[in-house]
Amino acid sequence: MTKNIGSGFRDADSELFGRLLQCLDFMGEIPFFRAYKSHSWASLKIEPGQTILDVACGTGSDLIQLADRYPETNFIGVERSESFLAVAKERAGSRANLQFLPGDAHKIPLEDRRAHGARIDRSLQHVEAPAAVMKEMARVTKIGGHIVACEPDWETFVLFNGEFDDSRKIAGFFQRSIRHPFIGRELASLMNQSGVEPLETHVHAYWTGKVQEADVIFDVRKVADQCAEADLIAQEDVDNWWSLSQQASQKGIFLAALSIVEASGVVGSV
């Protein structure tokens, strides 16, 4: 069975790269995603002269914005995907306070206590061992430095077009394609286990009434077809569900929704 966006981010250097890039760029223009990211940036307590790390930085779009917003702060992005890393470097241009490094989130290529703060955004859901990544973030962050993580909780994922049964099956199939679908609720616990004192948790609720938007972000049509391939839904019913979703979108009754959990903490001495 072919991958969908949910599983595709585990190996971004695959044939899905173009689709993954489209998804990230599209989300970057949506006010909701801009707003929750800005809120999470504030939790880093960024100051001039600091070094801030972004783990699994993807296209580098967040760091580029941060580098422009805080010109006297140094930013480092670590990304294992060669394809995303190339995009990040190209888009960053010659910004003197921004650096991108190849590296795996499970073994961050920085010495102990290098960064004043570290962040990770929607990537723990895809890595092999989220606890190991959190411990690495704590290792490379100075004592008293802030760590911020934002992750979806896919049990909150809802699709609705006026029909319940197939909508639940499609949403559930996508949930199961995520390696760690419930990671959002675990963030504060992971911090606590990694020597990071949890400070605050915020829940940001995303929703859209546009099926086209949901398709770009959640790969809805492909996931529905995968349900048919897995004999969970008949292909005829999948086609009907998609048609009904388009009609519901036009009528203003379609819904796709998801909660993203933001957790922040401070690195302790132990």
Would you kindly state where each structural domain of the chain is located, as residue ranges? 5-152+180-205+260-267
Q: Is the pLDDT of residue 190 over 90?
A: yes
Determine the length of the chain. 270
- Cα distances from 246 to residues 7, 212, 251, in angstroms, run 25, 8, 9
3-state secondary structure of 181: coil
Q: What pLDDT does residue 3 have?
A: 86
State pTM to two decimals: 0.95
Q: What pLDDT does residue 270 have?
A: 57
Q: What is the mean pLDDT of residues 66-80?
A: 98
Q: Is the pLDDT of residue 247 over 80?
A: yes
> What would you report as the CA-atom Rg of the chain, rounded to the nearest whole angstrom?
19
- Cα distances from 243 to residues 29, 146, 221, 224, 250, in angstroms, run 27, 47, 10, 12, 11
Residues 105, 37: Cα–Cα separation, whole Å: 20
Tell me what percent of the residues of the chain surpass a pLDDT of 90.
98
Q: What pLDDT does residue 129 have?
A: 98
CATH of 5-152+180-205+260-267, one of 3.40.50.150, 3.30.450.20, 3.20.20.70, 2.40.128.20: 3.40.50.150
**Mean of pLDDT over the chain:** 97
Q: What is the mean pLDDT of residues 34-49?
A: 97
Q: What pLDDT does residue 1 have?
A: 55
